[in-house]
């Protein structure tokens, strides 16, 4: 909040110096990816539990909002070149994150999914009593997070000259971001026509645009055009990008949107118009096939490779603190959301029951000794965990002593 207020007032941002001196940008990017994986891997498991009815969904909402808070902070500080350079190798994870969000944004607009969703006001957040309402709030936040990721990506493209060697290759060749940005220009997910009225999303809300302002460029439109300008006209990108038949046909679609009204609002696009006119009548030489050593991303790859067993186990550990109990027994947010919780769960020993799942039912006694009957367990989650543990235990018990097996031996090891 301090960074946003300082940026709005044009004051010196002391937070930026702290983030750089204490090397906090890679940590923030890691937290951002962890929150994303939790939302797409663990949160759906909690929503599918029929007998999970917590008295307060606020701890789960805090985890969902954690991703929005971090991307909002990164959008504020990534305007500065020093912040982009301090990200170091973690900038690759952030580029992949932005690509995933923009791909989701394009997919929603291409499928004509309803863009204007019902917003939940702050006074309504206190009344979130069901997981269904929390899912609706997560969908609204997902759209806003994707728009924030667009701004972060544009700030990254401003610093193409100071990015790591693998970052430029990742944006142009691996993800083909120029063509993805063309899709955003074509579909424009932040504008729609509803009930005969033209609406645009700006400053965190949908509002009706009068006819005389419908051709006015918004901030989101400007972010897309500036990102395209950086990726297509910079010498570093032109030497690396392959203008083959498909990429060339996609980029030439932009000529239909470069109208006189748009050029008057953003005169820098005149250079892009000239570039596209030249591209239409020439065949650029393909990039040189040099030896490229591309660095692999670590955080998202490691977290996304977790098996179903680890996800269900982690969901089980998340359900217990959010169980239905008296308000005074509700745990604090810090005790509910622990970054090292997954590592702890994966290292715990599990003494499992016989391998057969036939006839298994809640309260039957044929349950895992580690995750056995508990007065506050949730049967549906317990059955889901049992279905994952039992086949692995049956396979591993053939070569193990009677002491049981380890959950860590079933999960993918951390390299």
Establish how many alpha carbons lie within 13 A of residue 226's alpha carbon, considering only the half-sphere containing its beta carbon: 20
Dihedral of CA atoms 285, 289, 292, 294 in degrees, nearest 10, equals 60
Structure tokens at 181: 């940005």
Mean pLDDT of the chain, nearest integer: 74
Domain ranges of the chain: 2-281, 338-410
Contacts 24+ apart (CB under 8 A), 242-245: 242/173, 242/286, 242/287, 243/279, 243/283, 243/284, 243/286, 244/286
Distances (CA, A) of 127 to 13, 118, 138, 333: 36, 15, 15, 18
Query: Comparing 62-66, 107-111, 171-175, 218-222, which segment has the lowest mean pLDDT?
Result: 107-111
User: Is the pLDDT at 363 greater than 60, yes or no?
Assistant: no
User: Is the pLDDT at 265 greater than 90, yes or no?
Assistant: yes
CA angle 207, 4, 205 (to 5 degrees): 10
User: Is the pLDDT at 356 greater than 80, yes or no?
Assistant: no
User: Is the pLDDT at 101 greater than 90, yes or no?
Assistant: yes
Higher pLDDT, 395 or 415: 395
Query: Comparing 131-140, 141-150, 206-215, 406-415, which segment has the lowest mean pLDDT?
Result: 406-415
Q: Where are the alpha helices (DSSP H) in 48-116?
A: 58-77, 81-86, 91-110
User: Is the pLDDT at 114 greater than 50, yes or no?
Assistant: no
Q: What is the pLDDT of residue 201?
A: 92
Question: Residues of the chain with pLDDT > 70: what percent?
Answer: 62
Query: Comparing 25-39, 122-136, 314-328, 356-370, which segment has the lowest mean pLDDT?
Result: 356-370
Q: What is the pLDDT of residue 372?
A: 42
- What element of type H or E holds 406? strand 405-406
**Residue 63 — pLDDT band, cuts 50, 70, 90?**
confident
- Hey, which of 150-159, 194-203, 341-350 has the most confident mean pLDDT? 150-159
- Hey, which of 78-92, 246-260, 401-415 has the most confident mean pLDDT? 246-260
Q: What is the mean pLDDT of residues 398-414?
A: 37
CA pair distance 4, 1, nearest whole angstrom: 5
Contacts of 94 (CB under 8 A, 6+ apart): 29, 32, 74, 87, 152, 156
CA pair distance 292, 165, nearest whole angstrom: 9
User: Is the pLDDT at 207 greater than 80, yes or no?
Assistant: yes
Contacts of 232 (CB under 8 A, 6+ apart): 178, 238, 241, 251, 272, 275
Q: What is the mean pLDDT of residues 331-347?
A: 43
Higher pLDDT, 243 or 59: 243
CA pair distance 292, 169, nearest whole angstrom: 9
Q: What is the pLDDT of residue 239?
A: 87
Query: Comparing 10-14, 79-83, 312-316, 385-389, which segment has the lowest mean pLDDT?
Result: 385-389
Q: What is the mean pLDDT of residues 170-198?
A: 92
- Provide the whole-model pTM: 0.74
**Residue 292 — pLDDT band, cuts 50, 70, 90?**
low
CA pair distance 277, 268, nearest whole angstrom: 15
User: Is the pLDDT at 107 greater than 70, yes or no?
Assistant: yes
| Token pair 């539990």 in the structure block, residue | 49
DSSP sequence for 239-287: HH----HHHHHHHGGGGGT--HHHHHH-TTHHHHHHHHHHHHH--PPPP
């Amino acid at each position: 909040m301090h960074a946003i207020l300082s940026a709005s007032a044009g004051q010196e941002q002391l937070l930026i110096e702290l983030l750089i001196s204490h090397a906090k940008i890679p940590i923030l990017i890691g937290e951002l990816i962890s929150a994303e994986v939790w939302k797409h891997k663990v949160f759906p498991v909690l929503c599918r539990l029929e007998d999970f009815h917590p008295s307060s969904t606020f701890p789960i909402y805090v985890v969902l909002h954690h991703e929005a808070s971090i991307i909002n902070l990164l959008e504020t500080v990534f305007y500065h070149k020093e912040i982009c350079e301090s990200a170091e190798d973690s900038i690759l994870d952030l580029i992949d994150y932005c690509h995933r969000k923009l791909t989701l944004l394009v997919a929603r607009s291409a499928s004509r999914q309803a863009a204007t969703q019902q917003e939940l006001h702050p006074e309504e957040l206190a009344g979130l009593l069901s997981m269904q309402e929390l899912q609706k709030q997560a969908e609204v936040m997902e759209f806003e997070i994707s728009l924030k990721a667009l701004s972060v990506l544009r700030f990254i493209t401003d610093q193409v000259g100071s990015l790591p060697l693998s970052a430029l290759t990742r944006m142009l060749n691996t993800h083909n971001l120029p063509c993805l940005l063309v899709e955003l220009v074509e579909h424009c997910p932040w504008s729609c026509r509803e009930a005969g009225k033209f609406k645009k999303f700006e400053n965190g809300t949908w509002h009706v645009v009068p006819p005389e302002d419908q051709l006015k460029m918004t901030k989101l439109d400007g972010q897309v055009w500036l990102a395209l300008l950086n990726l297509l006209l910079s010498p570093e990108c032109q030497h690396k990008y392959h203008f083959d038949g498909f990429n060339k046909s996609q980029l030439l679609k932009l000529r239909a949107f470069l109208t006189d009204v748009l050029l008057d609002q953003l005169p820098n696009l005149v250079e892009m118009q000239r570039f596209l006119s030249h591209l239409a009548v020439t065949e650029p030489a393909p990039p040189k096939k040099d030896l490229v050593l591309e660095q692999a991303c670590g955080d998202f790859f490691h977290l996304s490779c977790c098996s179903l067993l680890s996800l269900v186990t982690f969901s089980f550990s998340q359900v217990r603190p959010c169980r239905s109990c008296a308000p005074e027994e509700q745990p604090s947010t810090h005790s509910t959301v622990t970054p090292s919780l997954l590592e702890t769960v994966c290292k715990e020993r599990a003494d499992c029951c016989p391998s057969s799942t036939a006839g298994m039912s809640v309260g039957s006694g044929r349950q895992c000794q580690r995750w056995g009957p508990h007065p506050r367990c949730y049967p549906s989650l317990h059955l889901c965990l049992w279905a994952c543990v039992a086949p692995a235990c049956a396979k591993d018990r053939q070569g193990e002593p009677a002491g049981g097996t380890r959950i860590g031996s079933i999960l993918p090891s951390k390299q």
